[in-house]
Amino acid sequence: MKCVMGKMISSGNEYERMLVDDGKIIALDNEKTAPQDAEVIELAQNQMLIPPLADCHTHFFQTGIYLGALDLSKISTKSELFSFLRWTTLNEYRIGEVVWAFGFDPQDNMPSADELQSIAPDVPIFLRRVDGHSCSLSSAAMKMLPAEFKNLPEDGIFSGEQQEKVVEYFLKKLDERTLIDAAFRVAEYAKSAGAFVVHSLVPFVEWAELLLKIEVKLPVKLEIFVETTDVERVKSLGLNQIGGCILLDGSFGSHTAAVSLPYDDEPQKNGVLYFTDDKLKKFFQAALNNDMAVAMHAIGDRAIEQYLRVAEYVAGENSLRRWRIEHSELISPEQIDRAANLGLNLSVQPAFENRWGGPDGLYAKRLGERWRRTNPFRREVDSGVLLLGGSDSYITPIDPVSGIFYAMHHPNERQRLNFKKSLDMFSKNVGIWMGKNFGEFKIGEIAEGVIVDGGFDGESPPEFELWNIE
Ligand SMILES: [Zn+2]
Ligand SMILES: [Zn+2]
């Protein structure tokens, strides 16, 4: 028997002693002494043991692909981009036939096809903006698009639905070996980041079938979401949920998130709704009839309103337990209460606030004073909504420990969560959503988790390591 002594946190409680036998937890309490025959393992003074964490929103294969792609996240202008591309051996970043580049968050503009052509003649480059809502193709990559792509933008900069089609086209060209490599790459990365469970959004049914085949060999547990409205097909795979980042609207960065009042910096725009109410009703009704939970991407308050309006219409007296709004960034207090009434979960990304929130961030630029209303975690928790924490990886890295930190350090002080509520988002709440034992230290469960050094009150997310006892 082994006896762990030190600070341990689980489901809102603090413990000082854990007894482990044969790799399983047999006791968790606040006794100060170890049983006589036990081997004692002491955590250091500044260490804290927390349960296994999860990431509830990842673009699974894309993350794996982008982990092998050219990373532009450190580059902030077009001229920096061009000198970087000049000095990079681009062919090392070919995935399939195309050089993939991602993470570009330009202060100025996305590069044009001609500009990319002059920097890297005849290299097919597919370069995505950090928020995933626009992309640039080089002239060589433009030429690869089949004839069904009509009215291509002359500058090679795509946004909106046309961008979605371009992404889909290049993704669908990837072969099975490339996809399996990508799956292992992201699963290993996630585990090393402390995410033992990964909610994996998959854009095509065929990819979900592939993932279901290899799932048991991966070092993490998955919950698979197929991003289609074909309920029967997904049901036949044995899944109880459908959707993911199926777009009701776009993003703030690209002025495509559907907002009820126009954008501050482009007052002629108020975003885009990609679904009609009718189409959404049919999808929700089919899901409800088949006992499937739906997850959809809605960022602006006008898109969230559409989700709620249609959900309320189809739900009648039913609770939509396990149904989710992904992101739900500009949700209003009134909408939070309606979400709580329906029993919805909100799947949120605290790292977005760290990256784009606050009075000087992108949200303030796009939304003006409304930056004070984005991601109201505190209000959501107070209303009894079950929050699920995620990264939206590849948009931000899989990193639940940082996610906990960012929820506690929300740029809007009134919306900060305390440590225990922040931890719940990435642990216990995920177990509740899955209806499985997860995210808590429980008797009979495997003794594993994450050791955090120095706590969450510092200037930046703490260091951590994976922990388990044989
Ligand atoms: Zn999304
Ligand atoms: Zn997403």
35-63: per-residue pLDDT in tens?
A: 999 999 999 999 999 999 999 999 999 99
User: What is the Å distance from ligand 1's center to 348 Cα?
Assistant: 10
Burial of 269 (0-12, 13-18, 19+ CB in 10 A): middle
User: What is the Å distance from ligand 2's center to 58 Cα?
Assistant: 6
Structural domain for 154, as ranges = 62-172
User: What is the Å distance from ligand 1's center to 202 Cα?
Assistant: 12
Domain boundary among 172, 196, 217: 172
User: What is the Å distance from ligand 1's center to 227 Cα?
Assistant: 11
Q: What ligand is nearest to the CA atom of residue 247?
A: 1
Lowest mean pLDDT among 162-171, 331-340, 356-365: 162-171
Residue 35: its pLDDT value, please? 96
**Overall number of domains in the chain:** 2
In tens, the pLDDT along 108-144 reads 999 999 999 999 999 999 999 988 889 999 999 999 9
Q: Is the pLDDT of residue 81 over 80?
A: yes
Q: Are residues 102 and 140 in the same domain?
A: yes
- Of the candidates 400, 415, 367, the one whose C-alpha atom is nearest the C-alpha of residue 466 is 400
Angle, CA of 435, 436 and 442, to the nearest 5°: 130
Q: Are residues 85 and 139 in the same domain?
A: yes
Q: Are residues 28 and 86 in the same domain?
A: no
User: What is the Å distance from ligand 2's center to 67 Cα?
Assistant: 16
Residue 132: its pLDDT value, please? 82
Q: What ligand is nearest to the CA atom of residue 202?
A: 2
Q: What ligand is nearest to the CA atom of residue 300?
A: 1
Please, which pLDDT band fits residue 97 given cuts at 50, 70 and 90?
Answer: confident
Residue 179: its pLDDT value, please? 95
Residue 213: its pLDDT value, please? 97
User: What is the Å distance from ligand 2's center to 62 Cα?
Assistant: 10
* pTM for the structure as a whole: 0.92
User: What is the Å distance from ligand 2's center to 187 Cα?
Assistant: 17
Q: Are residues 33 and 72 in the same domain?
A: no
Mean pLDDT of 375-403: 97
Q: What ligand is nearest to the CA atom of residue 257?
A: 1
User: Is there a domain that residue 152 lies in?
Assistant: yes
Mean pLDDT of 444-470: 95
Mean pLDDT of 366-390: 98
Residue 166: its pLDDT value, please? 94
Q: Are residues 66 and 168 in the same domain?
A: yes
Mean pLDDT of 328-340: 98
User: What is the Å distance from ligand 1's center to 442 Cα?
Assistant: 33
User: What is the Å distance from ligand 1's center to 247 Cα?
Assistant: 7
Q: Are residues 21 and 108 in the same domain?
A: no
Q: What ligand is nearest to the CA atom of residue 55?
A: 2
User: Is there a domain that residue 236 lies in?
Assistant: no
Mean pLDDT of 230-238: 98
Q: Are residues 21 and 80 in the same domain?
A: no
Q: Are residues 40 and 138 in the same domain?
A: no
User: What is the Å distance from ligand 1's center to 325 Cα?
Assistant: 10
Q: Are residues 34 and 73 in the same domain?
A: no
In tens, the pLDDT along 301-330 reads 999 999 999 999 999 988 999 999 999 999
Domain boundary among 109, 142, 172: 172
Q: What ligand is nearest to the CA atom of residue 393?
A: 2
In tens, the pLDDT along 249-281 reads 999 998 999 999 999 999 999 999 999 999 999
Q: Is the pLDDT of residue 348 over 90?
A: yes
User: Is there a domain that residue 235 lies in?
Assistant: no
Q: Is the pLDDT of residue 470 over 80?
A: no
Q: Are residues 72 and 120 in the same domain?
A: yes
User: Is there a domain that residue 114 lies in?
Assistant: yes
Q: Are residues 73 and 153 in the same domain?
A: yes
Residue 392: its pLDDT value, please? 97
Mean pLDDT of 163-173: 92
User: What is the Å distance from ligand 1's center to 299 Cα?
Assistant: 8
Mean pLDDT, all residues of the chain: 96
Cα end-to-end distance, the chain, whole Å: 10
Residue 84: its pLDDT value, please? 96
User: Is there a domain that residue 105 lies in?
Assistant: yes
User: What is the Å distance from ligand 1's center to 326 Cα?
Assistant: 6
In tens, the pLDDT along 275-293 reads 999 999 999 999 999 999 9
CATH number at residue 105: 3.10.310.70
Residue 431: its pLDDT value, please? 98
User: Is there a domain that residue 126 lies in?
Assistant: yes
Distance between CA atoms of 355 and 436, rounded to whole angstroms? 32
Q: 3-state SS string over 387-427?
A: EEECCCECCCCCCHHHHHHHHHCCCCHHHCCCHHHHHHHHC
Lowest mean pLDDT among 168-172, 200-204, 205-209, 400-404: 168-172
User: What is the Å distance from ligand 1's center to 296 Cα?
Assistant: 8
Q: What ligand is nearest to the CA atom of residue 246?
A: 1
User: Is there a domain that residue 143 lies in?
Assistant: yes
CATH number at residue 32: 2.30.40
Q: Are residues 90 and 44 in the same domain?
A: no
User: Is there a domain that residue 104 lies in?
Assistant: yes
In tens, the pLDDT along 179-203 reads 999 999 999 999 999 999 999 999 9
Domain boundary among 115, 143, 172: 172
